[in-house]
Structure 1
């Protein structure tokens, strides 16, 4: 094995040692039962791999209790990116065992981070699901919403998957209308972030309110309102793209 830092996983879960350490050296892998290793995409400095374990040595390792918590403890964008990449590759490996065309068991491609069907030749790459996430501005206030998936009191920006055939900008308009019943204008791309829940690729936007009354859909969005900088509710943690958009709004004010 080359000199690299390794993430470890079993099934769909990353594992860590009993000091909550995720990265391991070559030497530390020698005593473990490794099934397969993947080189991770070049998303940060250094060389990283993820090693899939055949079994979990409970005396040495434990399943990660919460990926979100682990991500929240990362100190740099590079640390976030490589942990996100590891989590997404693990999910992909666990989810795609067989060819979606002919059901033959997939094999690892010798060159790329991909699996190939020995029967029909189909290549299966790690899945990415493009999404939009948007902060809507209305003068000195911004629109934040409480989702049915959030903890009590948590508010964030609006988000949703991009549908087949539509642009990211159209997805912004559609998702805002579907979730809270208003129209937006001046849609501006800001930044992106890989989001491993389970394999989302978030495209972040700012937009301005155009018309309409806030009307939460009652299913995905339970409540939403306009908030000023000095009266914000509980918002997402620093490592999230939603928080980056909110912080940008705060800085603009």
Structure 2
């Protein structure tokens, strides 16, 4: 199964409230309504802007939130107004393509920062009584001062599955995939079902086949906008491929040496397919 990957917690310590300090902080600054991240051309941690106050970066934020410490220094996320111009030497860049440029743990931390900003924006008022929400004291949550309802950051669990049969992997093409790309069967978990239930349901709905053993592979946060992708490897048990024609246009079995265009390395789908290729490509 997969090799261990860097954790965001190797260098980052989450916290809700900042201790008073004049120490410069790292800032994950996102441009409003675009999800673009402010970076310079340096590598790794040095690509992030550093400032004691975010106003030193020549804009007044719509919102800013403390994230904790990064390499021992304070760490914040902030949303810049849509008309904000990047400071000299910096640019606002789409987050998704930055996977190959940022360290993997920094990419995941940037995803966390973006999701927390989105949550703060969309949870300003109580969904039960409409009262303005306040930040909770002990959790990353907001609490209604009127009715007491707690509002946590939204997280949507989704399964993604490699289905194996006689040494081949099932790959599927969805209508929205660019460049004739093929990926894995995936879908969001529904209330009342386990993750394994979800794997079986999505597979039956999208390609009409039954599964045998299901094994956990790994997980990946996916902040576009608030998913948690949970990967599995499953054994084929029966049935013929019958695509639904909506979620999936075409699906087929592929061997390690005959793969079509597959997802980029940013995704857990690619990690699972790369594992399959390495594992089964060496078998005679």
2:174 — aligned with what? 147
2:149 — aligned with what? 122
Residue 201 (structure 2) pairs with residue 174 (structure 1): yes
For structure 2, list consecutive stretches of 5 or more residues without a partner in the other structure: 1-20
What's the secondary structure of 1:250's corresponding residue? Answer: helix
1:25 — aligned with what? 50
Partners of 1:68 and 1:15 in 2: CA distance:
9
Partners of 2:114 and 2:86 in 1: CA distance:
23
Superposed, which structure 2 residues align to 1:135-214 within 5 Å? 135-214=162-241
Describe the superposition over 1:75-97 as per-residue Cα deviations: whole angstroms up to 9, x where unpaired.
43x12211211221122122222
User: Where has structure 1 moved over 6 Å in runs of 4 or more?
Assistant: none
Which stretch shifts more, 228-237 or 111-120? 111-120
Q: Offset of 1:131 from its aligned partner?
A: 0.9
Residue 30 (structure 2) pairs with residue 9 (structure 1): yes
Q: Offset of 1:213 from its aligned partner?
A: 0.8
Describe the superposition over 1:148-203 as per-residue Cα deviations: whole angstroms up to 9, x where unpaired.
22113111111111111111111101100001000111100010111112111111
Residue 128 (structure 2) pairs with residue 107 (structure 1): no
What's the secondary structure of 2:260's corresponding residue? Answer: coil
Q: Offset of 1:113 from its aligned partner?
A: 2.1
Partners of 1:235 and 1:23 in 2: CA distance:
31
Question: Aligned residues, how many?
Answer: 250
RMSD: 2.4
Q: Offset of 1:57 from its aligned partner?
A: 2.6
Q: Offset of 1:209 from its aligned partner?
A: 0.8
Task: Tell me, yes or no, if the aligned pair for 1:71 and 1:83 is still in contact at 8 Å.
Answer: no
Normalized against structure 2, the TM-score is what? 0.79
Partners of 2:166 and 2:149 in 1: CA distance:
51
1:81 aligned to which of 83, 104, 108 = 108
Normalized against structure 1, the TM-score is what? 0.88
Partners of 1:3 and 1:200 in 2: CA distance:
31
1:233 aligned to which of 256, 260, 267 = 260
